[in-house]
Amino acid sequence: MHVEFQVFRGVFASWRDLFSQAADFASTLQPEQLITISHSEDHSDGIVTVWYWSSPPRPRGGTSASAAPEETEP
């Protein structure tokens, strides 16, 4: 299984709108898939994140928390 996330953010969106979008997305998941829903705010930029288990990982450029870090040359 892989941990994945979906981010909902908006400077002009209300907290109610952001949480409604996150709740709508979370409602599409099976109950055992949902890990948690977190939120953050920085200078009026609200962010709500839905963390969930996925197997196999969903193809979504850059939103998978299970992505391997890039290797660097010494």
The residue among 31, 30, 26, 32 whose CA lies nearest residue 5 is 26
Cα torsion 45, 54, 36, 24: sign: positive
Tens of pLDDT, residue by residue over 10-46, are: 988 999 999 999 999 999 999 999 999 999 999 889 9
pLDDT surpasses 60 at 70: no
Domain chopping of the chain, boundaries: 2-54
Contacts of 44 (CB under 8 A, 6+ apart): 11
Instruction: Give the Cα separation of 24 and 17 in Å (integer).
Output: 10
Query: Phi and psi of 32, rounded to 5°?
Result: -75, -10
- What global pTM score does this model have? 0.72
